[in-house]
Structure 1
Amino acid sequence: MLISRPEDLRLERVPLELSPALLERLRTTRYAVLSALRSGAPVYGVNTGMGAMSKVRLSEAEQGVHQRNLLLGRAVGGPPWLPPDEARAVVVARLWTFLTGDAGVSSELCLRLVDLLNSDVVPAIPLEGAGSAGEIIPLAHSFGPLVGIGSVLTPNGTVVAASSSSFELGPKEGIALLAGIPGATGRAWLLVSRARRLLELQRLAAAGGIAVIGANRDPYNPLCGRGDEVLTAELTRLLELAGPEDEPRSLQAPVSFRVAGHVFANLSRAVERLDEAVSRALAGVTDSPAFLDGEFVGTAGFHGIDLAAHCDQLVAALTHASEVSAARVHRLLDPAVTGLPAQLAREPGPQAGLVAVHKKAVALVHSLRRLSLPAAIGSVETSNGQEDVQSFSWEAASGLGEAIRLAREVLACEVLAVFQAFALSKRAVPPLLQEFLGSVAAVVPPIEGDRPFGADLETLVTRCLSIAAPGTRRT
């Protein structure tokens, strides 16, 4: 893919190439940056120390090694490491910000990042322990391998020391690699696509439950969404998927079924708001100091509260959706709701049915609730008080990734219950759900009696409920 502007970058695994025009723009900006530095005026992190040491001016000799040392002294993380697709997303987001010109880095450094993205090797980036204003610790691990520092993940998943490198960082390039929030941005960028896919799978499962219990369709009438386009769209989609019901089992289905449209509308809005926050992060000024209109400007673009807040909001929406999903699983085990054998067992009594599947869903929801504490709460001073607040956007992205994983496992519990309910029911599978439930039947054998249902749930997660973004590794 030929990249002529930052907007051309995508997360898909495709060969990248920077256009000649873009490289020339980078060279022009770099020349201006180097010219401005010759004045000798203090520029944070270039000819001064960092953080509480920013009042210390560096000699010419110190400046010569300072940019590499910035990466060397901050690589204090360790395993567990980011998955390769998330590590790649961090590098993509960093390259995007460099291509805007704000960082004023060389075209050679951008080409090194392109080479990294085109290779089968990704940096070993710690999942935990950012703990600063910005992301200096994980970013030191992300880009240290460019100059022979740290470790990398090989294609077979092993961790090896980064190869020695003759590449040298020029003035301002070390601090540029550590600046801003490319980690949270790239990871959230990736997670938005996963959350969208998860939402569609959740709709399919909920619609299956609505259909199999013969729920009254009134709550899904699009007219009920008046004044709310997102809700109207969700109600319309659920009604399409579940199909009509001329003889509902009761005047009102349990609340967990009736509110599905509202739950998914809330989740859909949370996904889109995070997507908008990612766009703002990619378009905004996050470098510090940034080279703007020919001058070095200290910024606060490292404070990723916008991303952190919207990651937190999406975690809360996923938690609520999973709570409602687990409630539907419970109701599917109830003969009073379904008219089916108790606990969806073929022989209730001798067989326990899917009661333990619901218990697992409850445990997963409990884990989700613990993730729902906003990540941005709980600032602690660091760097002798120079950094007296943090947004913890890196941790917010980690929490969102874990929430998506847990929500998918709750979804697997609901899908298994819907699958068994249809197997025990005389109701036909609605046309728009046949492909989905057919894919379940292709990997889950008929449930004739009790068995270790954990294996079925794992199979559903890995083989049927894929939420990998296009072009990324399935997880």
Structure 2
Amino acid sequence: MINEPSDLDPAGTDPIELAPALLERLAAIRSEALRTLGSGDPVYGVNTGMGNLSKVRLTEDEQRRHQHNLLRGRAVGGPPWLAPDEARAVLIGRLRTFLTGDAAVSVELIHQLVALINSNHVPAIPAEGAGSAGEIIPLAHAAGPLVGIGHVYPAAPGADGRSTRGLLPPYELGPKEGIALLAGIPGATGRAALQASRAHRLADHLSAVGAGAIAVVGANRDPYRAAVARGDDVLADELTRLRELAGPKADPRSLQAPVSFRVAGQVTAHVRRTVRQLDDAVERAFTGVTDSPAYLDGEFIGTAGFHGLDLTAYCDHLTAALAHAAEVSTARLHRLLDPAVTGLPPQLARDPGPQAGLVAVHKRAVATTHQLGRLTLPTAISTVETSNGQEDVQTFSWEAVGNLAEAIRLTRETAACELLAVRQAFALSARAIPPGLQDLMQAVDDVVPPIDADRPFGEDLTAILTAVL
């Protein structure tokens, strides 16, 4: 039961039910807003045109059609579509902003939105091509099924899409409701919340895989001592985690392991720090005023909350942090193939020479890391005019969270490559798997058979990505 907007998690999957007291409050706001609209004062997008046409006042007959037309005329996107979980996050993000009351929409529209979220279907929302201050194009597609426009997909990957006809009874939008469905950056915010939850899990995996590499090469544990994290609580926690996972080592193979091993704590601590910063940006976006016009203190006010620079910047920041983490992981993987570092057979092959071992796994990680690096260009650094100059700057927050989703996917790939090498290194060595890593290594063993000869290791990596990471 949702009692407050903050109770609604865009990464959640359970059916949504709204508390009666919350709905009563929203109904009261709607009634007050309709009385305010009755004054006839100009309200952007309600009794006026949109964008550069906001100077045009609409007749009462035009107003009745206008809210529906706002969705129809802006649904210009196309494939590729968002994955079902991301599309659901967009809808939940939209619902969460409605529950603040700023949009002053009706309880009936909110019920329609909840019914769509709970229907096990999601709208076909374009993953690319937002191209505006805010995200009116993807939001037009997201809201279309509420009024019988567009297509929906079963919330299961790979299923075919179908028309919205018959899924929900078409809802007739009332005053202000069409523009409310298009306002702000709820889609990017909901998607960012989903990706942040994934990034938290990924950070845990990066710690475990890095600790496995540290343990299997017998790296000197000095860089992971608590004393070296002075003044940095996040780093201190990460170094503690690495020590616990990798276990003690009284007799290191060398005075200093390669840098990619020694900096494991700093790298993953930075990932964790940036994920938390994104969490904070998501909460600011959901808590703040992003509707425009927003109904505040008894009047409609034009705002600039759709300018998602805060969200964009922290998505970019996390993308860069993951790109560096992937580079470090790929470097460690290369060192794991080197007998001078591990004391193990070259390239972790059972029979070096006749067998190539895992050298091609490293090549895949190299290509993946290169691809990831191309995502790190700052997203908001682009001034493009639209709407005849009415929208003369943009932040491209929709694209920024798309880059982040791809960065998370690619970083998982490099982690899978390193994890496969760590498991093979343990298998070839006489070193015991530390207690903190035994569950992870068993999870790999459950889906990856022992490596005794060359084989299509891509199948093993897919199994790790599907069942372990």
TM-score normalised by length of structure 2:
0.98
What residue in structure 2 maps to residue 472 of structure 1? none
State the distance in 1 between where 2:379 and 2:165 align: 35
State the distance in 2 between where 1:179 and 1:115 align: 21
What residue in structure 1 maps to residue 165 of structure 2? 163
Does residue 1:100 correspond to 2:104, yes or no? no
Q: Deviations over 1:252-272 (max 9, x none)?
A: 000000000100111111100
State the distance in 1 between where 2:137 and 2:8 align: 25
What residue in structure 2 maps to residue 448 of structure 1? 452
Aligned residues: 464
What residue in structure 2 maps to residue 138 of structure 1? 138
Q: Deviations over 1:294-324 (max 9, x none)?
A: 0111000111110000000000000000000
1:15 CA displacement: 2.1
What letter matches 2:110 in structure 1?
Answer: C
State the distance in 1 between where 2:221 and 2:286 align: 42
What residue in structure 1 maps to residue 4 of structure 2? 5
What letter matches 1:357 in structure 2?
Answer: V
Does residue 1:337 correspond to 2:341, yes or no? yes
What residue in structure 2 maps to residue 462 of structure 1? 466
Q: Deviations over 1:112-158 (max 9, x none)?
A: 11111111111110000000000000000000110011111124521
State the distance in 1 between where 2:419 and 2:226 align: 25
Q: 1:26 to 1:214 in 2, by over 3 A?
A: same
State the distance in 2 between where 1:216 and 1:19 align: 56
What letter matches 1:162 in structure 2?
Answer: T
Alignment of 1:235-314 (within 5 A): 235-314=239-318
Alignment of 1:24-423 (within 5 A): 24-155=24-155, 157-163=159-165, 165-423=169-427
Does residue 1:425 correspond to 2:429, yes or no? yes
State the distance in 1 between where 2:8 and 2:153 align: 23
State the distance in 2 between where 1:259 and 1:448 align: 32
1:461 CA displacement: 0.5
Contact kept in structure 1, 2:85 and 2:155, CA below 8 Å: no
Q: 1:232 to 1:166 in 2, by over 3 A?
A: closer
State the distance in 1 between where 2:209 and 2:447 align: 16
1:379 CA displacement: 2.1
Does residue 1:18 correspond to 2:27, yes or no? no
Where 2:152 maps in the other structure, the secondary structure is strand
What residue in structure 2 maps to residue 436 of structure 1? 440
What letter matches 1:122 in structure 2?
Answer: V
Contact kept in structure 1, 2:3 and 2:22, CA below 8 Å: yes
What letter matches 2:138 in structure 1?
Answer: P
State the distance in 2 between where 1:20 and 1:212 align: 57
State the distance in 1 between where 2:318 and 2:16 align: 31
State the distance in 1 between where 2:20 and 2:439 align: 47
What letter matches 1:161 in structure 2?
Answer: S
Q: Deviations over 1:372-408 (max 9, x none)?
A: 0011112211110110110000000100000000000
Contact kept in structure 1, 2:146 and 2:170, CA below 8 Å: no
State the distance in 1 between where 2:345 and 2:6 align: 55
State the distance in 2 between where 1:26 and 1:312 align: 35
Where 1:447 maps in the other structure, the secondary structure is coil
What letter matches 1:7 in structure 2?
Answer: S
Where 2:374 maps in the other structure, the secondary structure is helix
Q: Deviations over 1:388-440 (max 9, x none)?
A: 11000000010000000000001110000001000000000000100110100
What letter matches 1:304 in structure 2?
Answer: G
1:16 CA displacement: 1.7
State the distance in 2 between where 1:431 and 1:17 align: 43
State the distance in 2 between where 1:82 and 1:359 align: 29
Where 2:452 maps in the other structure, the secondary structure is coil
What letter matches 1:216 in structure 2?
Answer: N
Where 1:169 maps in the other structure, the secondary structure is coil
What letter matches 2:29 in structure 1?
Answer: T
State the distance in 1 between where 2:174 and 2:450 align: 63
What letter matches 2:182 in structure 1?
Answer: L
State the distance in 2 between where 1:155 and 1:381 align: 36
State the distance in 1 between where 2:267 and 2:154 align: 41
Structure 1 segments of 4+ aligned residues over 3 angstroms from their partners:
none
Q: Percent identity?
A: 67
